Amino acid sequence: MEIKKLLILGRQIWGDNKPNLSQIIVRMGKVFGDICRYERNEKITDRADGEMELKKELGNMIVSTVRWCDVLGYDPEECIDLALKAQEKYAQDMSNVKS
């Protein structure tokens, strides 16, 4: 699915609900906490149900982050481009350290 489509769907789902940065941080922490609980409980829960839950939470992080970029006035695609460049640089820097 394209980023623009995610943004449109997020706007349709959430309407005028535009959390501020503090509220976004709390929401992001909630999803991150759900992912952490998956890791903690992975050995004691039904594996198929657990994996579906993990997939859902990773999807929540992706979809919500696209929307939050927009809510804060940022172009989600620009944010993604910046992140990819930073990750490429970090990976390169780390490979130079190992050499």
Structural domain includes residue 3 = no
Q: Dig out the tokens for 92 from the structure.
A: 């390169």
Alpha-carbon Rg for the chain, nearest whole angstrom, is 16
Structural domain includes residue 12 = no
Structural domain includes residue 85 = yes
Domain range for residue 82? 19-98
Task: For residue 45, give the DSSP letter.
Answer: S
Structural domain includes residue 62 = yes
Structural domain includes residue 88 = yes
Largest Cα separation within the chain, whole Å, is: 51
pTM, entire model: 0.84
13-65, pLDDT tens digit by residue? 999 999 999 999 999 999 999 898 888 876 666 666 778 888 999 999 999 99
The letter for the amino acid at 1 is M
Structural domain includes residue 14 = no
Structural domain includes residue 10 = no
Count how many domains the chain has. Answer: 1
